[in-house]
Structure 1
Amino acid sequence: MDETEFNGRLKEAQINNALGVFILVFGIIILFAMIYTETFVEHMTDMTAGLLLISIGGGMVWKARKTMKKLREKKKNNMEI
């Protein structure tokens, strides 16, 4: 893997991390907004949407951080050789 490809993959992982954090926080806000709804259907809709966004955002953050760690270890090992 050359330097350009490495930087591209690292940048992509950082962008996915930031996007994942945004989606995660947005899901928490929607879950918190469930308190202000009146009917059972509104509660369930907000809860479902909030939990879905939290799981998607959390998965994106987890995958991006795993990728960043792997890339940094790979670069460190290549520099030692």
Structure 2
Amino acid sequence: MNEAERTGKIKTAEINRALGVFIFLFGIIITFAMVFTETFIQQMTDMVAGLVLMTIGGGMLWKATHTLKKHKPEEAN
């Protein structure tokens, strides 16, 4: 793998990490919104949507962290 490919993977991982944090935090907000809903169906919808978003965001964070550890030089870690 040449330097340009490695740099591209690092930039992509950093972008995915930022997006993962945003999606994860948005999932927490949606899950917290369960408190303010009136019916059981609304609560379950918020819970499922929040957990799905938190899972997606957490997966993006995990994958980005794994990629950064693999491709960043040792002195930058």
What TM bracket, shorter-length normalisation? Answer: over 0.9
How far apart, in 1, do the equivalents of 2:12 and 2:63 lie? Answer: 11
Partner-residue secondary structure (3-state), 2:38:
coil
After TM superposition, give the deviation of residue 3 of structure 1 in Å. Answer: 1.2
Q: Does 1:42 align with 2:42?
A: yes
Q: 2:22 aligns to what?
A: 22
Query: Quick check: 1:2 aligned with 2:34?
Result: no
Residue type at the aligned position of 1:20:
G
1:63 Cα deviation from its structure 2 partner:
0.6
Provide the TM-score with structure 2 as the length reference. Answer: 0.92
Larger radius of gyration: 1
**C-alpha deviations, 1:8-42, integer Å up to 9, x for none?**
00000000110000000000000011100000000
2:34 & 2:66 partners in 1: Cα distance?
Answer: 32
Q: Flag structure 1 segments of 5+ consecutive residues without an equivalent.
A: 77-81
The residue type equivalent to 1:55 in the other structure is: T
TM-score by length of 1: 0.88
Where has structure 1 moved over 4 Å in runs of 4 or more?
Answer: none
Q: Deviations over 1:34-55 (max 9, x none)?
A: 1000000000000000000000
Q: How far apart are the structure 2 equivalents of 1:43 and 1:30?
A: 10
How well do the aligned residues superpose, as a CA RMSD in angstroms? Answer: 0.8
Distance in structure 2 (CA, Å) of the matches to 1:56 and 1:21: 10
Identity, % of aligned pairs?
Answer: 61
Measure, in 1, the Cα distance between the counterparts of 2:68 and 2:5: 13
5+ residue gaps, structure 2, are none
